[in-house]
Amino acid sequence: MKIETFALERWMTRWELDVAYDIAESGIYPMSTRELIDLAPAGERAELLDTLLDYRLGYSEARGSAGLRAEIASTYAGANPDQVLITTGAIEANYLLFNTLLEAGDHVVAVNPAYQQLNSVPKAIGADVSLWKLREENGFRYDLDEFERDLLRPNTRLIVVNTPHNPTGAMLTDAELDRIYALAEARGAWVLCDEAYRWLDMPDGEPLARPIAERGPLGISVGTFSKPFGLPGLRIGWMVAPEEIVAACWGMRDYITLSPGKLNDALSLHALRHRSQIVTRTQGIVRENLAVANAWFDEWGELVGWTPPRGGLLALMNYRLDLPSSELADKLAGEYSVMLAPGSAFGFEHHLRIGIGQRPDLFKTGLDQTADCLTTLLRDGVGFRDV
């Protein structure tokens, strides 16, 4: 398969180990293994640790352990464990699904801007991809009328959405997902909903919509331990789909990663069983950073602006200075030790992607450094662009 470069990953890889203030990150400040173990009640920790230390590290069950699949299935109304496939992150779930569901020439509607995989893999397969654009002037809302009127076709094979959305923090409501599902059903199209940001509703914000997999057999949900749980290093994600789709994806995965890491599977199960504590941790971080970010955008409103995320933890901030986002992002990283991802990686010039999941003290200093960089550029003669 010939596929275009994953622009954001290339850029992040260049800087992520060198910067002190990574405020572009797409997840929550990661948990340590100790913090994860400490979620167990004090009286049970020693036994849990012993169990993990004595684990025989043979190959694990290829679909993911029965325990983990059952626990995940229990979070989707009506799903059974055979509808769950554990994958190497949500990225593998998406990849398997695109390659299982699509053939060259199939028509796909996919959200854009996007976690690039959601656009690039269908294109690389040879699908005819219509981009469903989220626009800043529209508050980064999904326009359902445009979707129905201009993008859907009688032969559309797959609709790809992501809610809450990377990189804008857009959300689809329950009613909107119902409408998308009904339109898909009328055409026999699949709906792949990337729900990597599930459980990341904004503190005091709108509730998240029910997963698409609960709406009927054409709805496929993808999830992960990376974002809401702060456990991206486990590399554990999943899909919830009809059994025949899970079986086909499993068959393809035999050639790629075969099975999930056994210890990671066990740690993921432990995390899921204690998710209410993890969600409390996550919401604490997001709440604190959101307040700091809102105050910062108020203070520097002449230079920057944003649409705060409705869900998840990501947003695209715009800036008024007249220089390309890749240049600004490189300068921030190289000279100010701040990582804010260039909007150009999402086709959004004069924007930077910001994530509000970082450790709050680092997040705040990162914003202060960013203001320092922007005001220095202004003083050094970089002008405002026309808007």
Ligand X SMILES: Cc1ncc(COP(=O)(O)O)c(C=O)c1O
Among the residues of the chain, which ranges form H helices?
7-15, 33-37, 42-53, 66-73, 89-101, 117-125, 144-146, 174-187, 243-253, 262-273, 275-299, 325-336, 360-379
Residues 14-53 that bind ligand X (CB under 6 A): 26
User: According to the binding rule CB under 6 A, does residue 91 interact with ligand X?
Assistant: yes
Tell me if 116 contacts ligand X by CB under 6 A.
Answer: no
Q: Which amino acid is at 216?
A: G
Residue 215 has a CB neighbour count (10 Å cut-off) of 23
Shortest Cβ 213–ligand X spacing (Å): 16
Q: Of 22, 25, 194, 201, which lies in the binding site for ligand X, with binding defined by CB under 6 A?
A: 194
| 199 lines the binding site for ligand X (CB under 6 A) | no
What distance in Å separates the CA atoms of residue 342 and residue 332, rounded to the nearest whole number?
10
Decide whether 106 or 194 has the Cβ nearer to ligand X: 194
In the complex, minimum distance from the CB of residue 312 to ligand X, in angstroms, rounded to a whole number: 8
Smaller CB separation from ligand X, 122 or 232: 232
What is the C-alpha separation between 362 and 366, in angstroms, rounded? Answer: 6
Give the pair of three-digit tokens for residue 322: 């007249």
Query: According to CB under 6 A, which one of 19, 79, 86, 90 is a site residue for ligand X?
Result: 90
Helix axes 275-299, 360-379, angle to 10 degrees: 20
Among the listed ranges 49-57, 87-95, 124-132, 181-189, the one in contact with ligand X (CB under 6 A) is: 87-95
Q: By CB under 6 A, name the one of 89, 309, 311, 357 that touches ligand X.
A: 89
Radius of gyration of the chain (CA): 21
User: What are the residues whose beta carbons fall under 8 Å from the beta carbon of 29, sequence distance 6 or more?
Assistant: 230, 285, 357, 358, 359
Tell me how many residues contact ligand X (CB under 6 A). Answer: 13
Q: Per-residue x/- marks for ligand X, 207-246, CB under 6 A?
A: -----------------x-x-----x----x---------
- Minimum CB distance to ligand X, residue 137 (Å): 23
How far, in Å, CA of 140 to CA of 171, rounded?
A: 9
Buried b (16+ CB within 10 A) or exposed e, 341-353: bbbbbbebebbbb
Mask 294-323, x = binds ligand X (CB under 6 A)? ------------------------------
In the complex, which residues of this chain contact ligand X (CB under 6 A)? 26, 89-91, 115, 162, 166, 194, 196, 224, 226, 232, 237
